[in-house]
Amino acid sequence: MNESNLSRRQFMLSAMAGIGTAAVCGASAAVSKDGGAKTFPSMEAAVKEAWRLVENEGACRVLVRGNAIVSVERGRGPGPLLRLFDAEPGLLEGAVMVESVMGRAAAAVAVKGGVGKVFARTASEGARDILSAAGVPLEAKVMVPRIMNRDLTGVCPVERAAAGLESPAAVIAAARRTLVSLHGGGKGVVA
């Protein structure tokens, strides 16, 4: 089963069970052939295309600024969003984030990066609380108590590490520690 079909299957299983799903996110990719932002006639058109990329093309996260898609991410976990935040924090400022799975770590990065609004296919209650406390609007198709791991056998390790933390900085620190631990402190891990 390819990754796209697997993520759709996990989403459907979690939506039916009402328990959450694994984050299936990864590396950021350019969105136009020349490496620049892909523009649309309006912000609404750009957000509609962002949803299409998340729903049908396997993107886990798409950032829209004005009427342009400025970032598309594919793969797994909150690590790529943390790397994007570290490398290009200004890219998040005022952006609309269209997210496949919004857990506490992604919500904390959205808040610290200054994201203006979040649309999510699935969001955890903890993510909602972090965004709400910062005044960042969230619209989620499915709200779950917590994000589950990839096997749907327990809570996502990053979500579990951030449980009970309210400060975005504390959530981000817990996410970084967990990612380093999960990946053995190897190269390319967000520390």
- The closest of 163, 148, 58, 52 to 107, measured between CA atoms, is 163
Nearest residue to 122 (alpha-carbon basis) of 2, 13, 1, 5: 13
* pLDDT tens figures, 96-113: 999 999 999 999 999 999
Kindly list the structural domains of the chain, giving each domain's residue range(s) and its CATH number in brackets, ordered by start. 3-182 (3.40.140.30)
Q: How large is the average pLDDT for residues 130-156?
A: 96
pLDDT, tens digit (0-9, with 9 covering 90-100), for 153-166: 999 999 999 999 98
Distance CA 70, CA 108 (A): 20
DSSP 37: P
Give the whole-angstrom CA distance, residue 84 versus residue 133: 23
Phi and psi of 50, rounded to 5°? -60, -45
Taking the whole predicted model, whether its pTM rises above 0.85 is answered as no
Average per-residue pLDDT in the chain? 83
Q: What digits encode the pLDDT tens for the residues 56-86?
A: 999 999 999 999 999 999 877 898 899 999 9
How far apart (Å, rounded) are the C-alpha atoms in residues 44 and 67?
A: 8
Q: Taking Cα atoms as reference points, which of 86, 111, 83, 76 lies closest to residue 97?
A: 111
Cβ-Cβ contacts under 8 Å for 48 (sequence gap 6 or more): none
**Is the C-alpha dihedral spanning 67, 44, 142, 22 positive or negative?**
negative
